[in-house]
């Protein structure tokens, strides 16, 4: 029984880890730089397909077969290809203000989705199969931990500071010598590359990817994770990813009527979060934790007082 449960939980946990990595990438773009990207899943799909194509087609040709080395290179391929795709979208679009970038990324995601459906070498509409199993739950969580740690460090670097300054006030940032265009571009590219990492992990864990992964609805899920968790915090994005993956898993046991409406629940959660905790669920969790700590220490104090 226990064994079955463990085995069953591997897939949702893997998906949680991958969604969390995607969300961390989008957190940098949306929460860090204040740019709305509605095509985050497309960069993830570009990374996934490129990494898969590399291991399926290029690796045998190059004579690479050592799994660890192959996985490391495919992570680089995934991140690199997503970064390149990000460059193509961002260079013309970041000169535009706010909503235009959202529309451009949305259009880009549509193009990627349609293109993938029509490339037979990567399976077309049937999806890309026959990808070797190179990554697993430990891989996913290692990369998640590494990305989380690196982004926490990154926020304290000069570029991290410049990104937040640019988000808060672009005119003031420029008056301090910050090249705001280059700054926004770096945030967008870095966030896209992180999505590409998640893509490379996904294809080698599930040994399959379909064009649906580039779909708009997938991008919305990542935006929701970042917004529900709390845009300004890395912890919030991971928390948001947990909720977005956990809710459908839990609903699996609910009757069809309830399960099919899951996007409505997410909408309700978003409204709830915006009303009661605009900084996301992470601030709610932190507040509860603090209150709990205070209660515990005060009850401890009472006990000590009673003894004395």
Partner 1 sequence: MFSSQLSEQSKILLRADNLTIRFGGLVAVANFSLTVPSNQIVGLIGPNGAGKTTVFNLMTGVYAPNVGSVFLEDVELTARGAHVISRAGVARTFQNIRLFAGMSVLDNVLAALSWQRRGTNLASLLALPTIKTREYEMMQHALEMLSFVGLADYADWEATSLPYGLQRKLEIARALMTRPRVLLLDEPAAGMNPTEKDELAGLVREIVRQHGLGVLLIEHDMKFVMNLCAQLTVLDHGEVIAVGTPAEIQKNPKVIEAYLGADSAQVSGADGSSPGGAQR
Helix (H, G, I), strand (E, B) or coil at 206: helix
Least distance (Å) between residue 160 CB and partner 1: 8
Q: Does 305 bind partner 1 (CB under 8 A)?
A: no
Q: Which is nearer to partner 1, 38 or 151 (CB)?
A: 151
Q: Which residues contact 205 (CB under 8 A, 6 or more apart)?
A: 14, 18, 133, 135, 136, 137, 139, 140
Q: Does 237 bind partner 1 (CB under 8 A)?
A: no
- Report d(CA 144, CA 90) in Å as an integer: 25
Number of residues that bind partner 1 (CB under 8 A): 25
Burial-class residue 161 by CB neighbours within 10 Å (0-12, 13-18, 19+).
Answer: middle
Q: Does 164 bind partner 1 (CB under 8 A)?
A: yes
Q: Does 138 bind partner 1 (CB under 8 A)?
A: no
Least distance (Å) between residue 194 CB and partner 1: 14
Least distance (Å) between residue 289 CB and partner 1: 21
Of the residues 63, 158, 255, 305, which one makes contact with partner 1 according to CB under 8 A: 158
Contact pattern from residue 176 through residue 195 relative to partner 1, giving x for each residue in contact according to CB under 8 A and a dash for the rest: xxxxx---------------
Contact of 226 with 23, CB cutoff 8 Å: yes
Contact of 44 with 198, CB cutoff 8 Å: yes
Q: Which stretch binds partner 1 (CB under 8 A): 40-48, 160-168, 204-212, 300-308?
A: 160-168
Q: Which is nearer to partner 1, 113 or 280 (CB)?
A: 280
- Report d(CA 207, CA 132) in Å as an integer: 6
Among candidate residues 46, 26, 51, the one with its CA nearest the CA of residue 188: 26
For the segment 197-236, give every residue that binds partner 1 (CB under 8 A): 232
- Report d(CA 255, CA 252) in Å as an integer: 8
Q: Does 145 bind partner 1 (CB under 8 A)?
A: no
Q: Does 154 bind partner 1 (CB under 8 A)?
A: yes
Contact of 200 with 78, CB cutoff 8 Å: yes
* DSSP one-letter code for 28: I
**Cα 11 to the chain's mean position, in Å?**
17
Least distance (Å) between residue 161 CB and partner 1: 4
Of the residues 58, 76, 106, 174, which one makes contact with partner 1 according to CB under 8 A: 174
Contact of 164 with 32, CB cutoff 8 Å: yes
Least distance (Å) between residue 150 CB and partner 1: 6
Q: Which is nearer to partner 1, 68 or 176 (CB)?
A: 176
Q: Which is nearer to partner 1, 180 or 283 (CB)?
A: 180
Cβ burial 252-262 (10 Å sphere, 16+ → b, else e): eeeeeeeeeee
Of the residues 5, 68, 121, 171, which one makes contact with partner 1 according to CB under 8 A: 171
Helix (H, G, I), strand (E, B) or coil at 160: helix
Q: Which stretch binds partner 1 (CB under 8 A): 42-50, 151-159, 200-208, 209-217?
A: 151-159
Take residue 258 and report the two structure tokens written for it: 């309830």
Of the residues 40, 167, 184, 218, which one makes contact with partner 1 according to CB under 8 A: 167
* Angle formed at CA 113 by CA 38 and CA 99, multiple of 5 degrees: 20
Judged by the rule CB under 8 A, the positions of this chain that interact with partner 1 are 150, 153-154, 156-159, 161-162, 164-165, 167-169, 171-180, 232
């Amino acid at each position: 029984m226990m064994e079955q449960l463990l085995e069953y939980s591997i897939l949702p946990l893997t998906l949680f880890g991958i969604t969390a990595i995607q969300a961390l990438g989008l957190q940098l773009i949306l929460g860090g730089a204040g740019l709305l990207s509605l095509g985050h899943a497309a960069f993830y799909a570009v990374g996934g397909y490129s990494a898969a194509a590399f291991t399926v087609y290029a690796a045998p040709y190059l004579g690479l077969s050592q799994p660890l080395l192959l996985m490391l290179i495919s992570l680089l391929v995934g991140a690199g290809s997503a970064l390149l795709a990000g460059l193509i979208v961002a260079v013309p679009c970041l000169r535009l203000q706010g909503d235009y970038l959202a529309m451009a990324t949305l259009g880009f995601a549509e193009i990627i989705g349609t293109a993938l459906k029509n490339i037979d070498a990567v399976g077309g509409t049937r999806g890309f199969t026959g990808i070797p199993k190179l990554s697993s739950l430990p891989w996913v969580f290692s990369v998640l931990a590494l990305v989380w740690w690196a982004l926490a460090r990154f926020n304290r670097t000069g570029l991290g500071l410049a990104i937040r300054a640019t988000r808060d006030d672009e005119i003031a940032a420029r008056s301090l010598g910050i090249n705001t265009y280059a700054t926004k571009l770096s945030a967008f590219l870095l966030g896209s590359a992180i999505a590409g990492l998640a893509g490379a992990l996904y294809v080698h864990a599930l040994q399959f990817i379909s064009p649906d992964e580039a779909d708009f609805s997938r991008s919305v899920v990542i935006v929701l994770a970042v917004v529900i968790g709390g845009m300004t915090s890395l912890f919030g994005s991971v928390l948001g990813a947990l909720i977005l993956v956990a809710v459908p898993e839990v609903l699996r046991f609910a009757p069809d009527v309830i399960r099919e409406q899951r996007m409505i629940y997410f909408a309700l959660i978003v409204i709830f979060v915006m009303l009661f905790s605009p900084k996301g669920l992470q601030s709610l969790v932190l507040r509860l934790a603090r209150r709990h700590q205070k209660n515990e220490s005060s009850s401890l104090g009472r006990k000590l007082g009673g003894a004395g």
